[in-house]
Amino acid sequence: MREQIKQFIESYVSDYQDREGITTKYGHPLIGFADAYHPYIQKLPELIGSSHELPQNVLPDARIIVAYFVPFTKELAASNRAGTMASPEWARAYEETNALFAELNEALIEYIRANAGHAGVTPKAVTFYQDSLVSDWSHRHIAYAAGLGTFGLNNMLITEEGCCGRFSTVITNLKLEPDAPADHERCLFKKNGSCGACVKNCPTGALTKEGYDRFKCYALCRENAKIYTEFGSSYTNEDGTGANSVGSEVCGKCVTGSPCAFRGF
């Protein structure tokens, strides 16, 4: 079933990018399987915030969380390198990929049901608190537990294919072999103190070698959302009743100009 799920995700992503009206192209998805009861996942409310969701509260018999990473292309990254504002291609890819996740996750849940299991997602993954800029479902921490990567200085989870792409997760009750959390540091700064390209490329000063100011970062993402209103707005407000913004809250300069965009070290 691990192999079948991998193939399902790969072929869904491949078909999606060939659809009329979809302009974003993707690399080969990476898929990992996290043990829902791994101590790291069970401790997320302690690590991130007491309201962080636990998998068993979404699916009472949760066993395995499927985490996957859909890489963008070098061409898309190149479009977003210059200037302070995000490129239209980057904003569009953000919305198209979030729409892909909503569809793909639903289809994967159906597929698992058809194969004698069940699965679910939490709506908390697509919203975050406006006062703290923190979500109650961190795809990255689940993906870390599923062995997909480690955190870089730029805050991104860096996989073996880099960090220029997006993550999603689906909770299942399947009895599958879990992957172990990644233990290989993929960021040059964390490895040996070198690089720092992401800090240099951050136009707002949100990212420094000492840490990350999510409010400074969000201010620029919101400026981009005022420009990019035509592609949609895929995050919901906190009670899930509507969009959280007029447009696409993006930037990504700390990703698209980085040596770790398409490879992990």
State the residues that interact with ligand B12 by CB under 6 A. 47-48, 94, 125, 128, 133-135, 137-141, 151, 154-157, 163, 166-168, 207, 212, 214, 217-218, 221, 249-252, 254-255
Binding mask 102-141 for ligand SF4 (x = CB under 6 A): ----------------------------------------
Question: Alpha-carbon distance 226 to 183, whole Å?
Answer: 40
Question: Residue 38 CB, nearest distance to ligand SF4 (Å)?
Answer: 25
Other Cβ atoms closer than 10 A to 215: 10
DSSP H helices in 115-252: 139-145, 188-192, 197-201, 214-227
Question: Alpha-carbon distance 151 to 193, whole Å?
Answer: 14
Query: Residue 48 binds which one of ligand B12, ligand SF4, none, with CB within 5 to 8 A depending on kind?
Result: ligand B12
Cα 258 versus chain centre, distance: 17
Query: Residue 220 binds which one of ligand B12, ligand SF4, none, with CB within 5 to 8 A depending on kind?
Result: ligand SF4
Q: Is 248 in the site for ligand SF4 (CB under 6 A)?
A: no
Question: Residue 134 CB, nearest distance to ligand B12 (Å)?
Answer: 4
Query: Residue 196 binds which one of ligand SF4, ligand B12, none, with CB within 5 to 8 A depending on kind?
Result: ligand SF4
Question: Alpha-carbon distance 93 to 202, whole Å?
Answer: 20
Residue pair 158/243 in contact by the 8 Å Cβ criterion: no
Q: Is 188 in the site for ligand SF4 (CB under 6 A)?
A: yes
Query: Residue 258 binds which one of ligand B12, ligand SF4, none, with CB within 5 to 8 A depending on kind?
Result: ligand SF4
Closest CA to 155 of 169, 168, 138: 138
